[in-house]
Amino acid sequence: MAAFDPVTAITNVVGQVIDRVWPDPAQAAQAKLEFFKLQQTGELAQITGQMEINKTEASNASVFVSGWRPFIGWVCGAGCAWNWIGLPVAKFALIFAGHPVNISPADLSEMMPLLFGLLGLGTLRTFEKTKGVAAK
């Protein structure tokens, strides 16, 4: 039995997805060419390598190695929960109690990019590159 090669597996899966998404053979061939270019420039190997690192980190028994992503996720989630649930409820309760206080929302301008990155939305940059619309 051959060893599992993540790059080959991803290549096979992406080829199948491209064939389903672009039924036109010319468009599918163009998409496969763009994907092949990613392979040739080493970006695909870099992405695959990062996925392997993430998998190894997640399986580590130490909470300081495997727990940093969930911790950041919970912190970002708590900030979002405060801004959109806790803050309005706290303001309403304080006004209702006769003690209106001006409470500022948490600054999410630095937190949201981190949360998007953790959620995997950073792959949009790669998608832009394959479509040829990315800024150089």
- Over residues 62-81, mean pLDDT: 78
d(CA 29, CA 13): 15
Give the CA dihedral 113, 115, 117, 122, nearest 10 degrees: -70
pLDDT class of 86 with cuts at 50, 70, 90: very high
Domain ranges of the chain: 1-61, 67-136
- What mean pLDDT value characterizes the chain? 75
The model's confidence at residue 35, banded by pLDDT at 50, 70 and 90, is confident
Global pTM exceeds 0.85: no
CB atoms within 10 A of CB 44: 20
With contact defined as beta carbons under 8 Å apart, do 32 and 15 qualify? yes
Average pLDDT over residues 47-76: 73
- What is the average pLDDT across 50-70? 71
Q: How many degrees, rounded to 5, is the angle at CA 40 between CA 57 and CA 119?
A: 35
pLDDT greater at residue 125 or residue 51 = 51
| Better-scored residue on pLDDT, 91 or 4 | 91
65 in Cβ contact with 20 (< 8 Å)? no
